[in-house]
Amino acid sequence: MNIWIIVIFLFQFIGVFMSSQYKENNFSTESFSALQAPAENKIIRPNINHLIKRILVERRRERIITIGLVAVCSSAILLLIFFQN
């Protein structure tokens, strides 16, 4: 019965860890005031390749963290089961 309590605790810990990651806030007051000032009439378009690469890198990083946490938790559970018997 103690193993299930530990398993539930570990899954709750993983959920808290993954949901509390910091996301960058791009809507600061400095950027808002800079957008309102008409420095030039030229419209600057973002580099779409750079944005796609940033998204892919962020997804890869999250996937690696998730796989690592699952591996650590599953090995801990298997060790607990092995040493309890």
pTM, rounded to two decimals: 0.46
Residue 26 has a pLDDT of: 54
Residue 68 has a pLDDT of: 95
In Å, how far are 6, 62, 69 from 65, measured between CA atoms?
Answer: 21, 5, 6
Looking at residue 69, its amino acid is L
Per-residue pLDDT of the chain (85 residues; tens, 9 = 90+): 566 677 777 677 676 555 545 555 555 555 555 555 555 567 888 899 999 999 999 999 999 999 999 999 999 999 999 988 6
Residue 62 has a pLDDT of: 95
85 CA to centre of own chain:
36
In Å, how far are 15, 35, 38, 69, 72 from 79, measured between CA atoms?
Answer: 22, 56, 63, 15, 11
Q: What ranges do the domains of the chain cover?
A: 1-17+46-85
Phi, psi of 21 (to 5 degrees): -70, 145
